[in-house]
Structure 1
Amino acid sequence: MFKKSILAAIILSFFLMLVPQAIFAAPSIVDQSALSKGIISIHYTSRPDTKVLVRISKENVKYDYTFEEGDQYPLQLGNGTYKVLVGESIGNNKYKVIAQEQIEVKLADEKTVFLQSIPLIDWSETSKAVVKAKKLTVNKKTDMDKLKAIYAYITTNFTYDYKKAQTVADTYIPDLDEVYEASQGICYDFAATFAAMARSEGLPTRLVMGYEANSPETYHAWNQVFLADRNEWVTIDTTYDATRVQGGQATDMFKNADEYQIVKVY
């Protein structure tokens, strides 16, 4: 439950002006050293206060990110051919291309990408939510037990921040340590924290954005988790469930996927 698509709505129009082909003969700024994990990095030094965007596309699907040195960008659309384009702002919503590259992705397991840290789910082993996840799951033997422990923690301890939902910027990305300390946030905060905790425990987890049937006009974020023993992705919505759980209302952890309309998957 937040105002707009976060990174997808950063760029209402991404106009790219082609520059001379010679620039593409320069050394690649696209780092593929972690390609086996389904992620890439960009190494580029821009002018101060200059906006740089990274566009990753496969067939007709495009994902746009605001560039930050050190970020890892996911190739989450399955195996195949991706195009990576890096553009530098020249003003008036126009960008010049500084690099473009085609990448072939052939992962042994396409779910690997949903275990990684990415800009929208920025975590490490020292992240507070991740440290908590390890404590919660230390004696848990199965993926289901781990999942239940993480789900129970968030739905019991996190509350929805209605004020933040009204004031959050379109470019907002959760700082997971801040969210954990506050134990409250918008749906994006809930879903990103849940994803970080679950991924850190080896559970392939998607952060999904789109719409839920009961609130079809409200842009929302939730999760999907792959359960190996069931060989399927299950839908989990900690935001709505936190309100139900804390209100003493019984609710199933797994939701009906048909009641959710997916727009973006990270």
Structure 2
Amino acid sequence: MKYSARLALALCFMCCTLLWGCSGKKSSEVDHSGPPRDNTPQVLTPSADGTVVFDNDYASIDASNQSQGYIMVSYSGSCEKVKVQITGPDQNTYTYLLTARNEYTTFPLSSGNGTYLIQVMENVGGDSYVVSLTHDVDVQIENEFLPFLYPNQYVDFHADSQAVAKGSELAANTWSDLEVVQNIYNFVIKNISYDTEKATSVSYGYIPNVDDTLTSGTGICFDYAALMAAMLRSQNIPTKLEVGYSGDTYHAWISTYIDETGWVDNIIEFDGHDWQIMDPTLAASNDSESVKKYVGDGSHYVVKYSY
């Protein structure tokens, strides 16, 4: 994802995470008669099992767990700039920088079931790349939510992550997923400040580090969304990190799945009775009425990628 200085700056002022006002049912309306939900972290761990592998002397695509909603790619060549392109059955192409060497990186299969074209591409100068490895992978995902429960390159966490521990803490003494979303959302918008300096200097290929964001208490839109997504996924709440446009500005937010409601898309809030569009990064930097006015009916937001 390419952030120019101006776009990144505007982006971070416009994307304060994602669930502004996602207050869920009011506490008086939630049934607390039974035991609270289990807040034990449920962290799924990707693995390159080696049962379905396409490789050559430079790269390897491990599709052993395509049914879990992800593939893993490793590069062992000498090229400094390497990209992975994944084109799904919807013909939407996702392009990633592959920065790790001689180890596998996880990429989600975000477009559901069907045939995916996986390409590993090496830079040969300027903006020119050549394909060093390519293969089609037929995908049948066991559960539609799996791509948005596993960690991946952009939503990267593990059982020992600070973000996972914090998510579990925030999910304690709650009786519904909606309350968990509310607690995590409120924590992030109150405790993570927008990093203007970072926004003006962040480079192409930037990858969020959720524990760094939590520790520093600062971040840009991408960081806000990745941190919330990691916390929610580790509580077994399917969450998409979405990237697209807010007006003319490149922006990141999340959508999450609530059993009673389904996918809460387009940056939403719940006021206790109705779902409304909302934007968390905005929520961290602006008053609620200003955010509501900008967000409006959601027409300012266009999703391009879901991770």
TM-score of the aligned structures, taking structure 1 as reference length: 0.81
Aligned partners of 1:71, 1:256: CA distance in 2, in Å? 37
- Which structure has more relative contact order (CA 8 Å, sep 6+)? It is 2
1:127 to 1:101, Cα distance in 2 relative to 1, 3 A:
same
Structure 2 match to 1:13 = none
What is the match of residue 133 of structure 1? Answer: 167
Distance in 1 separating the partners of 2:251 and 2:143:
28
2:195 and 2:143 map into 1 onto residues whose CA distance is 37
Alpha-carbon distance between aligned partners in 2 of 1:250 and 1:157, rounded to the nearest angstrom:
20
For structure 1, list consecutive stretches of 5 or more residues without a partner in the other structure: 7-23
Are residues 1:195 and 2:245 paired?
A: no
Q: Kindly report which structure 2 residues correspond to 1:1-266, keeping only aligned pairs within 5 A, or say none.
A: 3-4=3-4, 29-47=60-78, 50-58=80-88, 59-67=90-98, 68=100, 69-212=103-246, 216-234=247-265, 235-236=267-268, 237-244=279-286, 256-266=297-307
Q: Give the aligned length.
A: 241
Identity %: 32
Using the alignment, how far apart are the partners of 1:195 and 1:224 within structure 2? 9
2:47 matched residue in structure 1: none
Residue pair 1:46, 1:52 contacting (<8 A) in 2 also: no
Counterpart of 1:10 in structure 2 is none
CA distance in 2, matches of 1:243, 1:26: 49
Cα-Cα RMSD:
2.6
- Could you tell me how far apart the structure 2 residues matched to 1:146 and 1:32 are? 33
Structure 1 runs (4+) greater than 3 angstroms displaced: 2-6, 24-28, 247-252, 254-259
The CA deviation at 1:175 is 1.6
Gaps of 5+ in 2: 9-53, 269-278
Please name the residue that 2:26 is paired with.
Answer: none
Q: Aligned equivalents of 1:264 and 1:89: distance in 2?
A: 23
Work out the CA distance in 2 between the residues paired with 1:255 and 1:230: 20
